[in-house]
Structure formats: C-alpha cells, structure tokens
Structure 1
C-alpha cells in the first residue's frame, strides 16, 4: 500500500465522505490518503495509524476491514471528544476572551499560523490548518485542511487524550490543540520561529520576540492578530 498525493479535489471529497472525514481506524480528524490494498480506491489514516502500516504492524487486510466499516460510523464512537462540528469553532488562546468567528487567530511575518474553518458538509470535521517554521525558520505547511502534509519524518503527530500534538523532529516547532468540545478548541501550547521572529502561545498569554502579551487577539474578524 502506498500514500497518494496526486488526487483531484473531487476524488479527495469522495474519499473523505466515504471514510467519515477521519481516520477509519481511530477517528482522528488529521489524516493522510492511502491506497487500498486491492488498488481500487483509497482510504484515510491518521499519521499514527499510517506509521503502523509502514512498520508492518497493520496489515493490508486490516486496513481494508477498517475502510469497509469506519470507526466514526460505529454506534459506540464518541464524536464529542473530537472536532466534529458544523460551525466555526470558538478558540481559547493568548489570554483573550473566547474568540468567536475568527478563522485566522494569528499570523507571523505574513504567514497564517493557524486556520480554522467549518466543514464543507454538516457531518464533517472542523478543518484545521497549521503552518510552523522548520529548523531553519522557513515556514512549512504541517496540516492543510486536516490533511497531514509531511511525508519524510520531519514532523510527528500524536493524539494524547483530547490533544492533537504536532512536533518538529528538528527545531522547536510545536503545536498542541486541545479539543475542549467539538466546537471549542484551546491552543494549549504553540511555539515556532519564522524568519527570525519567535512566537509562543498558551491559553493564558502569547509571547512575541520575548515580550509577553495578554488579550491582544481580536475576536470576530478574519485575522485576530498580525505579528
């Protein structure tokens, strides 16, 4: 089985719909596209489950079985613990009041660090995009509309309880998003350097180039704060 990078927009939409907009094995809404073992179509696996395939710990037959019966479509699956919501999520970060209707809470050196968008379909997942600096300070798209972009081991993803953790293999790039509720997300910790500018964010404060601020991110606008 191999990853798929060249898919049309319609093919990607059809695959997402068939898989329930999440990893067919665990339900995580950050995913990669993977060719099915019979070569007929593709499925969605989160970076962790994709790694199990690469290590041979998840067999082609098992992948086919998960694709046939995605976990998010099973009765026991708790959708509230993951960001499945038809609405733009409210955000908790930087010591500001609860941010609502703010798709891009932060930009650094003209680069949007986080982007949130409602799903294209009401039964889909919140679309999350993350852009952080690599070890040299160059911006890298880590997640694009829930699709995990790195394929060379330069970034790692992990689900820890109710947290999506994304970490650079080299450098200090880090983003931890806590799913407070399916329509509420807290930026528990974000740290990055882009073109010499350093940004660090928690729910209580943000720090730009070593200077700490509270309550500077605006709510109800396209971009909450431009750094």
Structure 2
C-alpha cells in the first residue's frame, strides 16, 4: 500500500487573488488572522482554484470542519465577504502590556521604560503624533497611523486596536507580520508584532499635511530632503523620538526629542 502523496502548496498568486476577493479577512467576521479553506474539500476532489477557496478565521474554520457551520452559509459569505463593503477592517486587538517598549524602525532601535501614566510620542510629523505609547491603568497602549503614497490611511492602531484599509492591492497577516503591498513586489508597509513590548517597523510611511517620513531597512528618512537617521540604540527617558516639521508649522518640545527634522520647502 503506497503512502498518500502530500498535498501541494496553494500557489502564491492564487492566494493573493483569494485574499483580495475576500477583503483580506474571514468572510464571515472579517478577522485578519485566517486560514485558506477549500469549500469543496481537497480530500473529496476540490482543487487549488480561486473559486474553490475562501478565507475563514480559525474559529469558523473549525466549526466548518466539525459540521457546525453549513457549507451553504460559507458559500453565501464567500459571495458577499464581511470586509468587502467596508472602508477598513474590523478592529483586531494587539496584546501589548507592561511599562516599557522596544521599537525597531529599520536599523534604528528605540527603547524606554515609561513611568506611571507615562507617554512617549515616537514619531511626530507636522505636530501630528503618528506613533506613540502610553501607560493606562498598568497597560501599554500603542497608537500608530501609516499612510499610502497618496496620503490615505493604510494601517491604523488606536490604543492597541489594529485596522487596515480594505481597498489595498494586497494585505497579508502571516505569522506575526502584517504586510501591505501597493503592487506585485511593492511593499508599502510591513510590521512585525512581538507582544508584550516589541514592535518592528520594517517598512512604513508616516505623513501629515504634506510632509512624509519613510522607514526602510536602512533607517528613517525624509524623502527628497536628504535627511536620514540610520542605526543606533536610543535608550533612556524621552518624551519624543523623531520630530519632523516644515516651515509652515511651529513645533514645541524639540528639546525632549532625539531627532528634530526641520524641512525647508
């Protein structure tokens, strides 16, 4: 008796097509952590075809496997995915806590232990806080706003609640990393979450009121203005990290920042 041959992997281009059609989340609840499900089971002759695949969160996938979720309900949801009519995904809670943070932005590392009711704005652009940490009732709360090239919101975190734009070309939450692409091979944002205290921004774009600050593997940049911060460990106590502003904006509090980026237009 011959051993059963292993099931081949789903092709990556098929996965991306399924993700986009499903709104980058479970078709029933929109959850961004999902599994690829064969509506016509692989073991019963179902193929790795886009029309036969959908996205289900672990809970709904298990219900379907145990016949607690009828396939007809899955097929209806596949035809009208939860996230498709929405501008952004449902909120996904990130499990950060404690009194300290460690953030990598490209090759640059920021770390700090916050005091009681402590607050640190790690990235501020034209007076707008775009990455910050604060302590509330013993919990570490992260807030973040990343944009696309056109300035539209791409990834947002408000007090540990993560959402992302569903109109993106591709959004993939794989393992601990969230990747947003604006085209094939064009990564616009890539974040790796490592609770309870660590966040890794491998690629990101912060923008407000006409000014952009970009993160890539080499560090932090103000595009087209020859301003760059690369490498280094920034430790100790500080209320602000990177502060970027143009001449139209008056900025207070640069004395407490590691790097001020005044930009002449």
TM-score by length of 2: 0.45
Aligned pair count reads: 169
- Where does 1:11-22 land on structure 2 (aligned, <5 Å)? none
**As a proportion of its length, which structure holds more strand?**
2
1:90 maps to which of 86, 91, 102? 102
- Structure 2 residue ranges without an equivalent (≥5): 1-24, 38-52, 64-93, 245-265
C-alpha distance in 2, partners of 1:193/1:173?
17
- State whether residues 121 and 129 of structure 2, in contact with CA within 8 Å, keep that contact through their aligned partners in structure 1: yes
> Residue 240 of structure 2: SS of its match in structure 1?
coil
1:62 maps to which of 60, 63, 67? 60
1:46 maps to which of 14, 31, 55? 31
> Residue 62 of structure 1: SS of its match in structure 2?
helix
**For 1:84-126, what per-residue CA distance to the aligned partner results, in whole angstroms no more than 9, with x for missing partners?**
442332222364454214732111122222223457566xxx5
C-alpha distance in 1, partners of 2:235/2:211?
21
**For 1:60-105, what per-residue CA distance to the aligned partner results, in whole angstroms no more than 9, with x for missing partners?**
x93897xxxxxxxxxxxxxxxx854423322223644542147321
TM-score by length of 1: 0.50
C-alpha distance in 2, partners of 1:140/1:151?
5
Greater relative contact order, per chain length (Cα 8 Å cut-off, separation 6+): 1
**For 1:111-156, what per-residue CA distance to the aligned partner results, in whole angstroms no more than 9, with x for missing partners?**
222223457566xxx5332212345325677222232445653586
C-alpha distance in 1, partners of 2:33/2:171?
7
> Residue 158 of structure 1: SS of its match in structure 2?
strand
CA RMSD of superposed structures (Å):
4.7
- Where does 1:179-190 land on structure 2 (aligned, <5 Å)? 179-180=193-194, 182-190=196-204
Q: 1:133 corresponds to which residue?
A: 147
**Is 1:99 aligned to 2:84, yes or no?**
no
- Structure 1 residue ranges without an equivalent (≥5): 1-31, 38-43, 66-81
